[in-house]
Structure 1
Amino acid sequence: MDLNDILNVIGGGGLVTLLVAGFIILCIFKGVRIVSQSEKHVVERFGRLRAVLGPGINFIVPFLDRVAHEISILERQLPNASQDAITADNVLVQVETSVFYRIIEPEKTVYRIRDVDAAIATTVAGIVRAEIGKMELDDVQANRSALISTIKASVEDAVDNWGIEVTRAEILDVNLDQATRDAMLQQLNAERERRAAVTRAEGQRRAVELAADADLYAAEQTAKARRVQADAEAYATGVVAAAIQANGLEAAQYQVALKQVEAFSQLGQGQGQQTIVVPAQALEAFSDAFKMLRGRG
């Protein structure tokens, strides 16, 4: 059966039906759009923005509407970039940055900016130079997290009109030229030596203070001992005075005689032969003392 036989079988009405069916299928194919979860589609009608299609099944007007842009909304990473910057203390540094972003409003991205990656990279470079120019080198090294937060916020403000969300901004490294590194190393060594000298001086001062405290403590203890001894002697003197006042001179003579007898008794207990020369007045005093002892006894 050739083509003519087929056309004869279909006839005039069958051909129209076939064409209508084909047109309906084409309209369905043109009018139904399935968008994946990671994309958004920008629809135009006669060159103007008509709609933004989200994930799932969407319907558009066939032959009038068309999908002009298919935009991925996945997070993107810009290539690592290095830019030179000068700190507030006139030090040249090379900063390596990395930026992550994603498109959240594709209708703004496709109609307001041509090269998104280049625009964001240029914006980041300018903001990094401006922020580092406000800080000294030591602050750049010590406050890197705060600097990253400031850069991220500034970039977000700059790209807000492009329908872009900056999810993360990182400063990967801050590099210095060799001359600056050598100068910083010398400064670091000098600072370490200064701290060591201060530590030694503080140790010597503390040793002197401790020695002085020890001498002061010894002097105070000696003074306390002397004060206790003086108090004891004063007490003994007071006791003797009280005894003399209570018993008269006889009691005092009795005590003196008692001490003299004890002294000669100890002297006589020495080893070997001793020769004792006693004045005549002492013999009379001993005689009186023995009389008093016998009288006491």
Structure 2
Amino acid sequence: MPTQESSDLASGTSIVLVFLALLVLLALIRGIRVVPQSEKFVVERFGRLRAVLSPGLNLIVPFLDRVAHRVSILERQLPTSKLDAITSDNVLVSVDTSVFYRIVEPEKTVYRIRDIDAAIATTVAGIVRSEIGRMELDHVQSNRAQLIAAVKAQLADQVDDWGIEVTRAEILDVNLDEATRAAMLQQLNAERARRALVTEAEGRKRAVELQADADLYAAEQQAKARRIAADAEAYATAVVAEAIGRNGIEAAQYQVALKQVEALQALGQGEGQRVIVVPASALEAFGDAFRFFGGGGRA
């Protein structure tokens, strides 16, 4: 039959076992860490950096190690900030900027900088003012992509020690004061008027050049026509001269007589009745022509 002492011993053993089981369970709970995909855990041991836990299942030493910082590694956007800057031609502009970044090394971010957003905003302001100070206003407005690339490159170099990566830097808008806007509008209107005058002058000049070309072309064509007519007349004269040389003066008289006959036929074909007076010399020419025609075979 169990004694009172053995009963107390068994009860004490059970309590110890339960305590050990609870201790083991607590150790497992504290030693296992499941890190979400969008976060990283910074683990400290006695207040000192021990490890950085990546997403997934991780084990740490219970009661010695603790998760001191839970850091999101998602991309972040700084609030849009408005900065005043002065260009190299002494124009005051207001620039709206925005920066996107993400933390890639949490151990640097949590131990080297207190307010990461404020630090980045201050750095961006200094870089933007410095870059705009090297540019004229027209260059700032027309080469915004170049300005953005310069800001991003310099910002990436300066924030490297903070364990972050600058994914994008944007210059959203460049605003001017009213006086500068009015001056630029006046300058723009003057430039438009100047271009209109230049275009009109160039048009008149081109019209004069085209008219001169047209007159020259017309003169060249007329000279060419006269040259062709002269060549044709010279050729006809040469043919007549050759015929006279070959057939004698009778050939020339025959040609004259044919022309006169053609003229008389044209007069006779008109409307109404007409009396045609033919000189005696013409009749003699006709007779010579017919004699020549009739005796041409015997010449």
TM-score, length of structure 1 as denominator length: 0.87
Note the 1:68-107 alignment, pairs <5 A: 68-107=68-107
Kept in 1: contact 2:77–2:99 (CA 8 A): yes
Note the 1:17-56 alignment, pairs <5 A: 17-56=17-56
Deviates more, 1:207-216 or 1:169-178: 207-216
Gaps of 5+ in 1: 1-6
What residue in structure 2 maps to residue 142 of structure 1?
142
Structure 1 segments, 4+ long, off by >3 Å, are 7-10, 253-278, 285-288
Task: Report Cα offsets for 1:66-89 as digits up to 9, x if no partner.
Answer: 111111111111111111111122
What residue in structure 2 maps to residue 293 of structure 1?
289
What residue in structure 2 maps to residue 235 of structure 1?
235
Kept in 1: contact 2:102–2:164 (CA 8 A): yes
Kept in 2: contact 1:98–1:172 (CA 8 A): yes
Q: CA deviation at 1:241?
A: 1.0
Kept in 2: contact 1:77–1:100 (CA 8 A): yes
1:13–1:235 distance in 2 versus 1, CA, 3 Å: same
Kept in 2: contact 1:95–1:173 (CA 8 A): yes
Please state if 1:219 is matched with 2:219: yes
SS of the equivalent of 1:190 reads helix
What residue in structure 1 maps to residue 3 of structure 2?
none
Q: CA deviation at 1:211?
A: 2.0
Q: CA deviation at 1:269?
A: 7.1
C-alpha distance in 1 between matches for 2:194 and 2:24 = 88
What residue in structure 1 maps to residue 164 of structure 2?
164
1:269–1:114 distance in 2 versus 1, CA, 3 Å: closer
Task: Report Cα offsets for 1:43-71 as digits up to 9, x if no partner.
Answer: 11122211001112211112221111111
Kept in 1: contact 2:250–2:289 (CA 8 A): no
1:77–1:257 distance in 2 versus 1, CA, 3 Å: closer
What residue in structure 2 maps to residue 3 of structure 1?
none
1:61–1:257 distance in 2 versus 1, CA, 3 Å: closer
Partner amino acid for 1:289? Answer: A
Partner amino acid for 1:174? Answer: V
1:32–1:274 distance in 2 versus 1, CA, 3 Å: same
Kept in 2: contact 1:258–1:289 (CA 8 A): no
C-alpha distance in 2 between matches for 1:261 and 1:12 = 164
Fraction of identical pairs, as percent: 69
TM-score, length of structure 2 as denominator length: 0.86
User: How many residues are aligned here?
Assistant: 286
1:78–1:286 distance in 2 versus 1, CA, 3 Å: closer
